[in-house]
Every structure is written in C-alpha cells, then in structure tokens.
Structure 1
Amino acid sequence: MFEAALKLGVAVVKAACGIWIGNPLAESAATTVADLVQEKVTGSREQRRLKRRFDEIEESVAERVLGYLDHEFRGLAENEREAAVLAVADTFDKAGLTDRTLFEQDLDPLYLERYLRAKAPRATRDLSQAAVALYDRVLPEACAYVMATLSALPRFQTGAFTELLRRETLLLGKVEELLDRVPRQEELAGRERDADAAFLTAYRRKAAERWDVLELFGTEAGTRRYPLSTAYLSLRVSGEWRERNLDLFNHDSPYPTGDLRVEQVLALHRRTFLRGPAGSGKTTLLRWVGVRAGQGDFPETMSSWTGSVPFLVPLREYVERELPEPADFVRHTGRHLADQAPAGWATKVMSEGRGIVLLDGVDELPQSRREAARRWLSGLLTDFPDCRYVVTTRPGAASESWLDTEGFTATELQPLGEEDVRAFIHHWHEAVRGEVTEENEREVLTRHEAELTRKVLGQRHLRSIASTPLLCALLCALHRDRHTSLPRDRMEVYEAALAMLLKERDHQRGVPGVDLSRRELVLLLQELAKWLILNGSSDAPITTVKRQVGRLLAGMHHIEEGSEEVFTHLRVRSGLLQCPTVDRVSFLHRTFEEYLAAKALVEEDSLPLLVKHAHDDQWHEVVVMAAGHATPAQREELVTGLLERADQVKKHHDRLLLVAFACLETSHQLAERLHSEVTERVQSILPPRTKEHVHTLNLVGEAALPLLARTPPTNAREAAKSIKAASRIGGPSSYSVIEQALPFRSRDVFYAAREAWERDPSSELAEVLLADTLTTYPYVFPIRAEHLNLVAPHIGAIEQFVLKGHGNDSIETLSKLPQLVSLILWPGSSDERWEIDLDPLRGMPSLRILSCLGQTSSSGIAPLTESPLEQLHLSHPDPISDLGLLSEMTDLKKLGFGYGLPQESLRDLLPVEPLNEFSIHHETTLSGLDYLSTAPDSMGGVQLLGCPELNNIEGLVSQSGSLTDFFYYGEVNPKLDLSSLRELPLLEVLKLSEALATTPASRKVLTSLSGVRLLELLHGKAIMRPPAWLRDMPRLRTLRATGSGDVDLTDLAGATGLTIEISAFGRRNVIGAKALGPGSRVIHERPTALFRSFQRKRPKPSR
C-alpha cells in the first residue's frame, strides 16, 4: 500500500512544482521533479540536496494519504484502496498540467480537481463502486496537498532555487505544517448534498490558504510571507459592550467589567462594529477569522463559531460599482470558486445562519457612498438575520452609533499595551527565526529582540510610536536593518521604511528587466498614490493602473520601456504594491499610499486642495503627513488655510481645528505666532469630549499636556477622555492631568484609569491613582504579580484585590497586606499556567474570600487553614496533596473546583458545617453530577459553569433536602435533561442560560416547578426575548434578564404580578414594558461586580 501512496505523493509534488515554476512540467508523464532540479540547478551536490528534500516531501504526502485511508476507509479491502489511490496518481500523470490558468495567482483546489477530472474522464472505469467512492474522496484531498506544498515554496522568481537551497532544512517542516492545517472534507449525503459538501470543502480550504498570509516588512522579498494563523497577535478592545454587563456571572472571565481581547467580544456578539486607526490590525483580524473559519479551529473562546463559513468582502473594491449580492461574496475568496459554486450556494449557507460576513473598510468608501452601504447592509441583516457580521472602519469615518439601529455592538481596538508590544516584538522575531537556517543568525535575532524590547519599553518616544501593529512591525524591521538608531517620530518611520524597501530593490539591480533609478521609482509610486487618493480609492483595476503608468511615462523621457514592463517592475520589485486579487492592485498598506500621496501633493504645491478636503476623514492622514513633507513656507500656508476654513465652515469647525493641531505632530518647524494661534484655538474646544479629540491630542504628544492641564474636566465624560489622552501621551507631566480628573466618579473614568495603569505601571502613577481607584469602585482592576513590590506601598488600605500572574510568579509581597479580605489569583489567559506557592497567605487574619481561577494550580493548601476563609475556589485540584485539610476550615461556606474534580469524595473533604454553595467550573468532560452524591445532603446551592458535555443533573437529587438555588451557564449540550429539577422540593432560585431555559423540553420542566420564585436568564445575544409561557410557572414572581443586548418583553404582554429586573451596568433598551399587566413592573439594577457578588446572601428557604 505504501508504494501506491508514494506514487501519489510523487504526482502531488510534481504537480506543485510544475505550477510553482509556471511551466507545464507534468505534460509528460515521464518528466520528474529530479529532471526539473537538474535543469534549474547547477552542481551535482546541490542537485542531490534538493532531490532529497523533494523525496522527503513525497514521502510525507504518502504518509498522510495512508493516515487518511486508515481513518476514513479502514473497512475497504486493501486491493480496492490501492487501486483507487493508483487511479488518482494516474489522473495527475495523464492529465498534463497545460492550462495556463493553472499557473496564475488565485488557483484553488476545486479548479484543479475539476481540471483533472475533465482531462482524465475514464480514470475510474476499472474501479468497483466502493473504489470509485474512495477515488472521489482522495482526489480532492490530493489537490489540497498540491496547494499546501505550493504554499510552502518561496515566490518563484530569479534566485528561487538558490533560496530553496538556503532554506532546504526548513522546507520539509513547513510543508508538513501546512499539510497538517488542510481543513478536513465535509461529510457527503445525497446527490445535492454531495455537490454542496464538496464545494464547501474546497471553499474552506481556499479560505484557509488564501487569507493565511502575513507579510513582515524588512525580511527578504522571497520569504516575507508567514502564516497568519501562527503569527497573529490578539488585540485589546473597549467599547459599549462593557456597559452591557458582558459576562459578570463568569468568574473565570479575565475582564468581567473592562477591556477584553477582541476574540472574546466577537464570541459574545453576532454583530460587531470594529473601529480602529490606521495600522491597528482591523484587516488582519478579519483575515484571521477567515482562516480560523476555513480551518474549523477557532480557539475555545470562540468555539461556537466553529462550523461557520467566512465571506470576506473588501469594501474598497466597491467604490465605483454596486455593492455585492451574496453570490458575489465567493469571488473574494477565489475567483474560480465563484464560477464553480452550486446554484444559490452562498444564499443557502447564509439562510441557514452559518455565514460570517466580514466587511472590511467602511472608511475606504467615499462619504457619499456610506449611507448606501448602510442600507445595503440593513438588507443583508433583514434577509439573513442569523449570520454573524463583523464590520470595520477607521473611527473618523463612522461614529460608534453608526450601526446601533442594526443591533451591532460597537468596539474599538486599543493601542498596544506593554504586554502587547513585548508579545508583538517576540512574534515578529520568532517568525523570522523560523525562516533562518544559520544558528549564529538565529542568535543575532534573539539579541535584536531583547535589545529592541528594552529600547521600545524604555524610551518614551519609541513607546509612543509602537502604538499599532503596523508601526511596531516597521520598528522591528528598521531595527534589524539598521542595527543602530531608530526613528523618533512617525514620519521618520515611514521615510525609513520606504528607504529600506527601496534598498532591497537596489540589491536586485543587475537582474534582467526594467532598470529604474530610486528617484524614478518614488516618483511613479507617489503619482499613483496621489491618483488613488484623488479618486477616493485604495485599489484599482490593473488595466486602469497600467494606463495611468503610461500617462506618467509620457513625461519621463529617460525611461525607454513601455507601461506593461514598468508596471510589472513596480508590482514585483518595488516592495510597495500588491495584487489583492488577480485583476486589481493596491499599496501594501494604505498608510504608504497616504504618505506618498501627501509627498506628491506638496511637491506640486496643491495646498489649497489639501485644505479643501481636510474635513474628509479619507484625507486626514494625507493632510497631516503633508505638513511633515512641506517646506516651512508651505507648512505655514497649509496651517493658516486650515484655521481660516475652520472659521468659514461652521459644521467642520472642530474637526478642522483638530487637523491643524494634528499637523503640529509632523511639523518640526512652524512660526511661533502660528503655533501659538493653533494651540489657543484648540484649547477653546477642550477639555476633550470625543475620541477624535483624544486621538489628535495623542498624535501631537507632550505639547498637548499643558493644554489639558489648563482645561480641567467639568464632568465625568470629559474626565475619562482627559485621562485617556494624557495616559496615551505618557510621561511625568501626564500624572497631574490624570490626578485632576479622578475625582469624577463613573465607570468610564475607572476604565480610563485602568488603561492608564496598564500603559504605565510606575510607582509615580501608582501613587496618583491606585489607592483611590481600588477603594472607590467595585469593578475588577488586575495588578500583575511582577508589579506587586511597586504597588504595595500605595494600597495599604485595600481589602479586595485581583492579582494576575503566570509561570512561577511569586505572591510573597501579599504577606505585607494583612488587611486583605478578598483575593483573586488569575493567570490572565486560558493558555497560561500559574504555579502558585500559597505560603505567603499563611495566617492572614482578614482573608475570607480566595479564588484561584483559570489555569492556576498549587501543590498544597496548608497555609490557608490559618485564615478564616468563608469562600474558596480552586482550579486543578488534583495536584493538591493535602486537599483533606478542607475539612478543618470550619468557616467555609462556599467551595468550588475548576478544570477537574478531586479524587476524594466530598464527604471526606467538607467541613462539618454545611456549605451554602458548591460550584464546578470548566469541567469539560463532566457528563453527570454523581460527584454530588458523595456529599451530605446539606448544600444550599449548586453552580455549574462551562460544562459542555453535561447531559443529566440527576446527582442534584442527593441534595433534595437542602438545595434552594441552582445555576447553570455555558455552552449547552442538546441532550441535557432538566427533569431532575422536579425532585427538588425546596428549589426557589433558578439561574440558567437562556438557550437552555427556552427549549421545548425545558418548558415542560420549568412550568411544572411549584416552588421557583426567581428565574434568572443569562444570555449574550443582541436581543433577549423571554417566552410567553414563563407566565405559566406557578410561583414565579421575579424574572431577571442578565447579559448583553436589549430585552424584548412583547411575549409577556398582560403578565400580572411579575417583577422584571434588567441587570446591567449600562443602559439596555427594554421593548414592550408598557404592555405588562397589573402588578408587573420593570426595574433596572446594577449588578454587583465580582467581589461583591461573592458576598451576596442566599435567600432563606421557605420550608
């Protein structure tokens, strides 16, 4: 069987190599990869080396074929399996890869499969029916292996084989990694479903391959493409979700009431409106979602998204044409796929609610087109309400509320924090190390990483620059390129990055083709950039760009070549242009387009044009960068023009003043009179009231701090914005601005203060804000373990504390805080482990609440027996050797375990006094509650969180003589049976996921419960709509709606004597409240946060 699989492996690698070099290598069955190597590589040693590598890849493909057969077709006779595999290999050999379309960009496995079938229609004539079925499964698998192998090879250009020789030891590992990531085939069932399933497999595979690319600036042209799925950096977001009580009932949620990672926000909302400045990672995020959906391997946080189908739509392609129908979405993933899709396929997927619609770049549409785009989106939402939607924009193009009426949750990407910068620099260097074969070069990269991290985190101007992934990536590239000094501002970064990319081009001089000077190259690029900006576009059809190049060449008499040759040179060699699809061209990043367009406009003295468009968000960065490119006289004319127009056009007054102020960031020289006038005019619109104000003040930097100091806030909204602006600028002068804003008490002020701390965890800032913030607010404010010594002197009176750590971080300093009453130890993310020595907690006289959440663990709890603990939660209890000491904790009233249950019975562990509550968190294999039967019948409440395999709760009956409260939240097993609740006569309080509580089976159970007086529904959907049958629950007096989104009470019209509590931090819209019957009312309550929720008293049972 191996020989047959190896023959297929040979055919796969041969096809990949033929497509790679753009040559019909496989036209002759006798041609081999060895022939190709011998033709393209001189030197017998080098030929033998490369042949060995390709032999290894062929064997690796063969092993995967064998594994696939063993998994999918184990029951088929070996001779049948061998015949089918050989038939697939023969199909490759006999077909001959001669269609030129195969050698173009954007090839997908389905196109290749259908080409092969058309070329070899009789390939299965001698196979049995079972073997034909196997052939039909193995052929698309082999085509996917061709594409994976192709993706592992460097871009084919002059020197590609030299590059292969240089990286030969890495090649096999990269191929195997890509083969491992090939999405599995969909199950087939019926003729129609066969076609849909086969296409879905091809679509997923193309999505995973198409979007799984991240380009790293400053690496060599042939190897700067890296897998996005491995190099992706999770980003922080903030926004309205935090005002909607995101997930307060999840005690393992890292930020129950604050900033989250963007994946956590996406997981909780079907419609997300994501805003972020240039280079903040919006497009990268959408591509990452597309890749994960294609591969079907979302992280646990987003597990509910697995099985969805991604449609990524770059809105910049619809500047001058009608917005697409669902059938057109497919083309953005693969142009051939759109021609091969079964009729109505995309519409069917979206009608079933399985689509993820990723709309990229509202800001790249002209202002005149945006309202039409919103109406188009509204139509999609009406037709396909159950799909998931993520829409991105720069903040200036659309306000937070732009999609409020469509049920979107608005959120904004935050600047990179200290941890993010450290992680990004590590990811960048790790990706480059993965492509380096020489050990000494890898060591140099490791030194560069440590050095750059130290510089960026230690020098304020560099820390200010490294606020977005784009700028951080450019710093990494420039540091590797220069090895010495780094730019001091954004303009220097872009200038140096341009020089670096063109220097790489200079290294390619002597390569056959067009030979342009650097000046000629820059001139062509900046004129193209200007043309795109003037036409309101971020990309254009290749044919249009070629015509534009031809017009430019008419005035460049030293260039003899035609527009076709020059355009090809610009696209392939400049390092700044790319083809997002085969028929369109754009700049590598829009920021480079804006930088070069600004340069062109300044050089032709188009300053009035810049002033005319300065209010347009699409021109903001162009105008600001133009101030940096300008001469002193031009700069004065530009800024004066902005101030004059601000007086003339009242509706754009504030925005034009802010643009003028932003120009100060890039203006190294400006007349003192004009500089003073700008600052005075801007001070008149301070303190900051909008995010645009904050962003502009941050761009200007330290010069803005005196203005903020002289205009103290007058309300909490202004206070929060002042803190944000000052903290993002940073430095000692920012502390007084932050301090004068803290007396205004609000959630937003708290969040701003916490963001300030995360950006600058210094002793000086700790003195200014920590004690006040931690004692005033009930929200979670995590402090890193490494900052404990820094913080301890300033929090002497703190009673409640969240400590964040990982690895072997010590908590020794906690022994200096004997006043602590409540302590949460949390590692910060689901994949970080924290091994904690609890000895510093020994004998803490006031400690009553301790929660070790997430991936925390400890070897012993003996130190805890000397504190009066009333509530204790332990993750990973198995390694704890002395868990029996729990029986000595006589004050213990609440106990919980997470990520595993102890081997010991509860009867042996529990103290004599009965527990008020027992909880189990994140026990992913738990199917039943038999463990509860090992405890005495004395528990008042049981809480279950994140137990997706739970299918029965019969174990609760063992507590029927005491249980009054039951709580279940998390992913619901469809087989979960709630009927055992009927056997709990004392049950009064029931808290359930809305998805679980509202199933037909649950309805029968809940309407039969005679004692339940309070039902809490927990949800994360855009709208909660409690069903009408809740009125049939005999004693229900209180319905609590907890979660995110609005509440629709329409189905409860006429309900009498019912109190409906809307539990949220911020305002949630309530629909249908006026239609409630006599004695019913709606009240809004603010749920207590993590610490205080622990301290809620359980209602006394009515026996």
Structure 2
Amino acid sequence: MVDVTALGARVASSAVAPLVRRLFVRDGPGAALVDRPVRISALVSFRGEKRTVTPKDVDRIARELVRRALAAAGPGEAPVGEGEAEAVKDALARTLARLGEITVEDYEAVGLGPERFARELRTGVPLAPYGLGEGGLLLYERLLNTASLHILNFLTQRSTYVARQQTVQTRQLARLVQGLDVLLERLPSQSAEDAGFEERYADHIAARHGTLTIYGLDAGTREWPLDTAYLSLEATRPQQAARDGHRDGRHAAVAAEQVLAGRDQVFLRGVAGSGKTTLVQWLAVTAASRVYDHGLTHLIGRVPFVLPMRRIVRPGAELPVPGDFLRAVGCPVAGEQPPGWVERVLRARRGVLLVDGIDEIAGERRAAARRWLRELVRAFPGNLWLVTSRPSAVPEDWLAAEGFGERVLARMSQDGVATFVRRWHRAAGAEAAVGEALLRSVRTTAELTGLATNPLMCGMLCALHRDRRGFLPQDRKSLYEAALTMLLERRDRERELHDPDGLRLPYAVQVQLLQKLAWWLIRNSRLEMDRAEALQLIGGALPALDLGGAGEEDVMRALLLRSGLLREPADGRLDFLHRTFQDYLGARLAVQDLDFGLLIDHAGDDAWEDVILLSVAHARPREAEHMLRRLTGEGTPRGTLLAAAGLRYAAEVEPGVRLLVEERLAALVPPSTFELAGDVARRGGDLVLGLLPGPEGLDDLTAAIVVGTAVEVGTEAALHFLTRFRGHPGRDVQVILADSWHRFDRERYAREILAHLPEQWPVQVSTLDDLRSLRALGGWERIVVRGAYRIEDLTTLIVPERLRYLALEAPHPVEGLAWLSAFPALDTLHMAGEADPAAARELPAGTEITWESDRQPSPAHHRG
C-alpha cells in the first residue's frame, strides 16, 4: 500500500491549483478590488449573489481531489477502501465549505501558513461522524494541507493582495509549491506501516535534536531551541583547493548548512567546539521537519540518520548494518521499526546519513570505519553523506577514493561572534550593553580574539564576562579554571541550593574525581565509559577521600546531578559535557602523575593535541620546558608546531628553550604549501607573523601562501601585516585579500585593505552592513551574495554604475531577474541551482548568465 502521508504531496500542483481556483470568484471588477484586506468568506464562489459554483460543486471538487490522490497511488496501492474514500470526500467537502464561514482576512491567512490555516478550517468540523480509520484520517489531513497550501498561494496572486505588496509571503508560498513538486518527484510508494513509522521517527528526530546545550546560561547550562541558537558558519575547501577556487571567487566558502547542496558526499573537518555536531543536528531536524520553504531542496523528502561514532563503535563489535542504525544509537522508537524500512529508504535514495566524530573512535578502529563507509556508499548510492572529524585525526583525502569531497569548518567570523554574543545575552536576559562591552573587549584584545573562535568558547566568554562583571581570563587555561569554579563550586551556592538533594562534594574532591575519569577515557581512547567502569574508578579513589563513608553510587549520583560536567547520554553510559572539559581535566591529572613520556609519545595523535597543550599550561616551568624540548626533538613539523603552540600556554619559559622553539619554527616559515600554512598559523599565532617574509623578493606563489598564513592567524596584528601586501601584483595575492575581509573587522578591513587593491576581485557579502561598507568605498565591481537576499536591498545598497559581476548563491526569487536592469554595467551573472531558460530570458541585453550546475556559460544565456 502507498504511503498515506505522501498522497497529498503526490497530487501535482498542476492538478490541485485549478480545483482550488474554482472555490473563489474570479479576480476582476466586482471581486473586492479594494486597497485593504478582505475576508476570505467574501471571496468564495459558492455563496452570495455572485456564486459561480454551487454547494454541490464543492462536494465534486473534494471528490476529484480524493480521486486524483488515489490515482497517484497506482493500481492496487490505495490506502483506503471505496467506502472510506467516500467518507474522506465528505469530510473534506465539509471542511472546504468552511471557507464561506471563517472571518479570517487574506493577509492573516497567509501569515498563518498552510498547516495552521488547515487547522483553522478544521475548527468546527467534527470528524467522528465520518468514521475515518487511521488511513482515512491521514489521507484527509494530507489532502487538506495540500489544498490549504494552494489556497494561500492563490490568495497571494490576486491583484488586491499583490497591490498591498505582501511579497514576502508570496515568495515563501511559491517556494512551498516548488518544494512540494520536488517532494512529488522524490517520494516513492510506501506501505501505510512504513509511512506511519516514518512520521513517528521524524517527530523523534525533532524532539531529540531540536535543542542545543548552550554553556554558561544561569551559571551552568540550558537548552536552547535549535532554530534560535543555530548560527550559520562557513565551510571552506582545504587550503590548496581554496586557493584554486579563489580564481573565480565563488567556490572557496559556502554556508555550512549548504555543504550537501553541491555534492552527495562530504567529509567535514573542524576543531573541538567549532560546531560540527550542531551542524549535524540542524541538518537532521531540517530534513525531518516536513517543511518545504527553507530553500534546501536537496533535503526535502529525505530521512536523516544521526550516527555518532562514539555511540555505534563498541569494543569487539561490528559496525551496524542499516537495519540496526536506530538501535545502535539508542533510538526509543527502534522497536517499532518495520523490517527492512531503512534499506527501503536508502534504496529510494532518500537517506541523509550524518556520521559524526571519526576522531572520537580509537585509531585502530578508523580503518574499519572507512571500510564500513565504503561498503554502505557502494551498496546504497545516491544518498547524502556527511562525515565529520577533528582536523588531523585522519590523513588528507581519507575518504577521497569513496567519492567524498573535503571541507573545513571555518572559525567564526567577527560578524558570527557578534551574532552569537548578542543572542546569548538575549537568551540570558542580560542587558544588551553588557554584550556590547564584551564585543569591544574581544575586538581590541588579541588574547580574547584568539579565544573567541567557536561557539563553545564564545559561550564560556559570555558566561564568565557576566559572572565576573566584565573581568575576563586572558588565556585558555585560566578560562577553563574559571569555568570549573563556576560549574563545580559557585553554581549551587549562587542558585541558593544550600541543601542540595543527595551528597554534596567539595570542589577539590569533584575536580579530583572528574580528573580520574577524564584521564582514564583519554588513555583508553574513549569518549564514553560504562557506568560500571566509572564506579570502579570512583571506588578505588574513595579510601583516600574524606567523604564520611559515602559509597561510590552516592558519589556518582552527586557528580551527575551537581557538577554540570558529567552526564549520562544513554542508560549505563557516561561522558563529559564537552570533549574540551575532558581534555582539560585529563591534562591536570597527567601533570600530577608526571606522565610526560606518555604525553609526548602521543604527539602524533590528533586526539591528544589539546591534552598536550593544556598539560604544558598546567606544568611547572621545568616540566613545561622539558616537554617543549621533547616536542622539538621529535624532528617533525607536527612536533615543532605543537611546541610553538605550547609557548603560548607556558607561564614561564627559559630563554634558551624559547629560542630553540622559534628557530625550529622559522624553518617552517614561510610554509611550503597552503595546507601547511593553516597548521602553522593555527599553532604559531602572532609568533608566526614576525617570521613571515615579504612582500619584497617573493615569487607570486610564495607571496600568496604568506598572505594565506596571515589570514589564518586572523588577529589585528595579522591585519596590520596584510597591509604590506595590498599593492602586490600577484593575482592569487589579490584574490585572497579580496575574499578574506569576513575574517576581520569589516569596516577596518574595507578601509585598510579593499580600498587599496589595484583590481576589484570578487568579494563575498552576506549582511546589509557588508553592502553598506562596499558602498562607502564608492561601490564594488564584483560581488558574491551569500545566502538569502531581498531585491530591494541589493538595488538600494549596490552602486549601480560599478557592478560588473554578480553571483547569487541562493535560488533566484519569484519576481524573476528583470530587476537586474537596475545595473547598467552588469555583464556577468552567476546563479545557484539548475539552468532556468525562462529566468535567463528576463536578463537585460548584454548580460551573460552561468549556472552552478554547469560552471560554464549556459546555453540559455542572453546576449543583446
């Protein structure tokens, strides 16, 4: 039997729209041509003096909708029998007749959206008398939602409505109709059992992944709705590919949520706390939402599977086959899953497989994970895949043979930091002025600029800035120490929990126990432990602690309830709130136990990098110097770069050791490749800037690598360094400079870099402030518009006479492309999506159009 939940969508727009139009009077003289909103009841065609459709015709329209839906199911696939189909028709006809009764005005109805408008129509229509079963009720609801979508779309197209310039809702509904047609093409026939389960599973995904834990609210953590908390980040190509992409200024960076729009398989790297897991949640919820106006047509009709590697990889166990995906991640509805459902979804090419955290499994299991991925991709082609990892956990092009393209999650831009800080303070109920004060500190203090690079660190800075009334730690170790004090000691006291439920552990005891758990996880290459393992570790520590005879179960319960750092993601499993806290606490115990040899032995392991650096921060001066000597003695670029990063963590370093590290680092500067440039900048920081040469005496490639290195450093000192290269004649140097302004303070970069470039290469804009900054320069010739846009903003803020090249990364709007005639010098337009000959014909004479799908001038381009 066919999927009942999809039948409404399977009736094409061309079939539904004419039926819906018959419910309303023709738009013309005498049809409410007024300049104010009108009630929908005044527009229906089956009431009043001007009726062109009888009440019986409404019944026939409902019958036709049901007939076409069942015909779309195919022979022998009808989800309801003849008698129940008649009952669905009767219920639908009575509901559509409500159009003549409701007092909702047209603009109010559009504002409700199709699902809420459908509920408005259902009000006052009892369904019990119709005796609908589960399949009949689902069919009724889907057909009513589909009809409501087309009713609202029809309302926005009436002259009276358009005259009132309700263009936002018009575009939204047009995207809904387009999305519905995409859904029609993508959804296969399904049994009622599959369809019902898929809907329950989608509800689970929305509930499970629809919130984010934001650090620091109420001196602890709080769940934020995903749609409020999600911050769009950038995903860039690896450095070499990015440099090649700079040649046309389009392909170096995309919004992270769009990484699967251009290709089916992506391997995404990002540092701890950079937002990888948040992106996975956002993609999962968006795919499961059954909403079609978000503009991400590649996610419509898809089924997401969130597969955290830390959860599905078990010692001695095989990785799960598709039928076991839900059980492997502890999905509570796994037991209801129809046999073969996952395989049927993947065979229909509807899956979005989100494999999170390759770095979070032991190194010896990663080869098995790659074989598992290869076999799944080959067995089920055509699905969407996103695999995430920390940057150096696996070699470059680790999944290239399996068809995965690589992207890197970029650090937060200054605009991103500002957006996050302002949202955090609104959610916390703090004064806006407090957030603005923090932003001023971050922008003017190099140490804070270096810390505010990802959502986790920004959340910690926000919490501590408010908690300490403006005083902020100036290094990473101090930041974590302050966060621990807030979570472990002050949290209960300041919330007036003087007599908390259960055992109350002193701060020092909590830290000592959490350190033992963290260091055990690190040494065993684990991110989760069984509850029994944790109890054994705690039990072993209790004899040395003065806890008045408390047992390990009491202590475990206290750590889970009160610390805010330890949690139980699944029954019988324990982990830390975030990997970063685990690394910090583990490093403390490693130094206490003098495990420096073990730390250095793991210098080549990406999962240990933060542990090693934080150990340098915890160590006493002689111990830190010993670690730095050992790291440089490794004789590898990685060891040298770790030592260079360690200089910023050590409180005191003997001059001879510092000189040794700087000399070894100088041998890597300038970097030989763009790939190495990112590592050198990230670990060396401002120290690298003093070692970079030029611009005199550098060939074009070396100069481009030097500029790329400084861009990756990303501090105010780096911006000052870049001013030396703004007149460099090298093409790549100029393109990188033009494309990097989002990494710095926008206005200052525009003033000190962009204004001095000899040629205007493509510049990316994503906000109105970006457009205003370019306008303040007198305009710009080549502009790439990232994300959604409003036509009136582009025509108002772009200087018409200067614009020659325009790239629009979002689909073209409902209004078409005729508005581009406002730019007389425009000769090239690049558009996202598939070629659209109709849109191309609207272009002004002399403008050539290219499309993302072909990367070459489209046959539909228009020449005057």
- Structure-2 residue corresponding to 1:302: 296
- Structure-2 residue corresponding to 1:751: 736
Structure-2 change in CA distance of 1:898 and 1:344 (3 Å): farther
Q: Does the 8 A contact of 1:296 with 1:306 survive in 2?
A: yes
Distance 1:773 1:1098 in 2: 29
Distance 1:263 1:225 in 2: 21
Structure-2 change in CA distance of 1:716 and 1:544 (3 Å): farther
Distance 2:847 2:694 in 1: 55
Q: Does the 8 A contact of 1:715 with 1:744 survive in 2?
A: no
The reply on whether 1:781 has 2:763 as its aligned counterpart is yes
- Structure-1 residue corresponding to 2:715: 730
Distance 2:785 2:354 in 1: 32
Give the paired residue count: 697
- Structure-2 residue corresponding to 1:771: 756
Structure-2 change in CA distance of 1:525 and 1:875 (3 Å): closer
The structure 1 residue matched to 2:486, chosen from 475, 483, 500, is: 500
Structure-2 change in CA distance of 1:299 and 1:476 (3 Å): farther
Structure-2 change in CA distance of 1:581 and 1:944 (3 Å): farther
The reply on whether 1:829 has 2:797 as its aligned counterpart is no
Q: Does the 8 A contact of 1:579 with 1:586 survive in 2?
A: yes
C-alpha distance after superposition, 1:855-891 (max 9, x if no partner): 99xxxxxxxxxxxxxxxxx98989xxxxxxxxxxxxx
Q: Does the 8 A contact of 2:351 with 2:383 survive in 1?
A: yes
- Structure-1 residue corresponding to 2:228: 230
Distance 1:266 1:506 in 2: 46
Task: Give the partner amino acid of 1:312.
Answer: V
Give secondary structure in 2 for the equivalent of 1:216: strand
- Structure-2 residue corresponding to 1:360: 356
C-alpha distance after superposition, 1:753-809 (max 9, x if no partner): 63256414465885556534635xxx412479988xxxxxxxxxxxxxxxx427xx8
Give secondary structure in 1 for the equivalent of 2:217: coil
Structure-2 change in CA distance of 1:739 and 1:73 (3 Å): farther
Where do 1:926-937 residues align within 5 Å?
Answer: none
Task: Give the partner amino acid of 2:759.
Answer: L
- Structure-1 residue corresponding to 2:134: 133
Q: CA RMSD in A?
A: 4.7
Structure-2 change in CA distance of 1:617 and 1:733 (3 Å): closer
- Structure-2 residue corresponding to 1:193: 191
- What displacement does 1:256 show? 2.7
Structure-2 change in CA distance of 1:629 and 1:966 (3 Å): closer
The structure showing larger relative contact order (alpha-carbon pairs under 8 Å, at least 6 residues apart) is 2
Q: Does the 8 A contact of 2:632 with 2:639 survive in 1?
A: yes
Give secondary structure in 2 for the equivalent of 1:483: coil
C-alpha distance after superposition, 1:897-949 (max 9, x if no partner): 259xx9xxxxxx999xxx9999998999x9996xx9xxxxxxxx83689xxxx
- Structure-1 residue corresponding to 2:8: none
- What displacement does 1:329 show? 1.6
Give secondary structure in 2 for the equivalent of 1:256: coil
Structure-2 change in CA distance of 1:672 and 1:297 (3 Å): farther
The reply on whether 1:533 has 2:432 as its aligned counterpart is no
Task: Give the partner amino acid of 1:805.
Answer: L
C-alpha distance after superposition, 1:669-696 (max 9, x if no partner): 1111111111111211221235455345
- What displacement does 1:732 show? 3.9
- Structure-2 residue corresponding to 1:283: 277
- What displacement does 1:465 show? 1.3
Distance 2:747 2:299 in 1: 39
The reply on whether 1:561 has 2:547 as its aligned counterpart is no
- Structure-2 residue corresponding to 1:384: 380
Give secondary structure in 1 for the equivalent of 2:461: helix
Distance 1:595 1:298 in 2: 43
The reply on whether 1:628 has 2:617 as its aligned counterpart is yes
Distance 1:910 1:750 in 2: 24
Structure-2 change in CA distance of 1:706 and 1:128 (3 Å): same
The reply on whether 1:706 has 2:690 as its aligned counterpart is yes
Distance 1:239 1:927 in 2: 28
Structure-2 change in CA distance of 1:715 and 1:528 (3 Å): farther
Structure-2 change in CA distance of 1:710 and 1:548 (3 Å): farther
Q: Does the 8 A contact of 2:641 with 2:683 survive in 1?
A: no
Give secondary structure in 1 for the equivalent of 2:333: helix
Structure-2 change in CA distance of 1:724 and 1:823 (3 Å): closer
- Larger Cα Rg: Structure 1 or Structure 2? 1
Distance 1:490 1:431 in 2: 25
Distance 1:492 1:529 in 2: 19
Structure-2 change in CA distance of 1:73 and 1:257 (3 Å): same
The reply on whether 1:485 has 2:471 as its aligned counterpart is yes
Distance 1:304 1:450 in 2: 38
- Structure-1 residue corresponding to 2:48: none
Distance 1:625 1:919 in 2: 49
C-alpha distance after superposition, 1:156-201 (max 9, x if no partner): xxxxxxxxxxxxxxxxxxxxxxxxxxxx9x99x9997111011101
TM-score (structure 1 length as normaliser): 0.56
- What displacement does 1:73 show? 6.3
The reply on whether 1:805 has 2:704 as its aligned counterpart is no
Distance 1:712 1:519 in 2: 56
Structure-2 change in CA distance of 1:299 and 1:475 (3 Å): farther
The structure 2 residue matched to 1:897, chosen from 794, 818, 823, is: 818
- Structure-2 residue corresponding to 1:460: 446
Task: Give the partner amino acid of 1:564.
Answer: E
The reply on whether 1:672 has 2:666 as its aligned counterpart is no
Task: Give the partner amino acid of 1:315.
Answer: M
C-alpha distance after superposition, 1:355-378 (max 9, x if no partner): 111111111122222222111110
Give secondary structure in 1 for the equivalent of 2:372: helix
Distance 2:850 2:762 in 1: 23
Task: Give the partner amino acid of 2:209.
Answer: W
Structure-2 change in CA distance of 1:383 and 1:305 (3 Å): same
- Structure-2 residue corresponding to 1:369: 365
The structure 1 residue matched to 2:268, chosen from 267, 271, 274, is: 274
The structure 1 residue matched to 2:508, chosen from 501, 514, 519, is: 519
- What displacement does 1:570 show? 1.0
- Structure-1 residue corresponding to 2:10: none
- What displacement does 1:266 show? 2.2
Structure-2 change in CA distance of 1:944 and 1:455 (3 Å): same
Distance 1:516 1:711 in 2: 59
- Structure-2 residue corresponding to 1:658: 641
Give secondary structure in 2 for the equivalent of 1:401: coil
The structure 1 residue matched to 2:563, chosen from 565, 568, 574, is: 574
Distance 2:348 2:451 in 1: 45
- Structure-1 residue corresponding to 2:576: 587
The reply on whether 1:293 has 2:287 as its aligned counterpart is yes
The reply on whether 1:329 has 2:325 as its aligned counterpart is yes
The structure 1 residue matched to 2:421, chosen from 413, 416, 425, is: 425
Give secondary structure in 1 for the equivalent of 2:670: coil
Distance 1:75 1:855 in 2: 42
Distance 2:774 2:237 in 1: 33
- What displacement does 1:829 show? 3.4
Structure-2 change in CA distance of 1:554 and 1:319 (3 Å): farther
Q: Does the 8 A contact of 1:810 with 1:837 survive in 2?
A: no
Where do 1:45-444 residues align within 5 Å?
Answer: 75-76=90-91, 130-133=131-134, 193-220=191-218, 224-239=222-237, 256-297=250-291, 300-317=294-311, 318=313, 320=315, 321-331=317-327, 334-433=330-429, 444=430
Distance 2:823 2:787 in 1: 30
Q: Does the 8 A contact of 1:642 with 1:660 survive in 2?
A: yes
Identity rate, percent: 28
Distance 2:383 2:482 in 1: 43
Task: Give the partner amino acid of 2:678.
Answer: V
Task: Give the partner amino acid of 1:198.
Answer: G
User: What residue ranges of structure 2 are gaps of 5+ in the alignment?
Assistant: 1-86, 96-127, 143-179
- What displacement does 1:216 show? 1.6
- What displacement does 1:590 show? 0.3
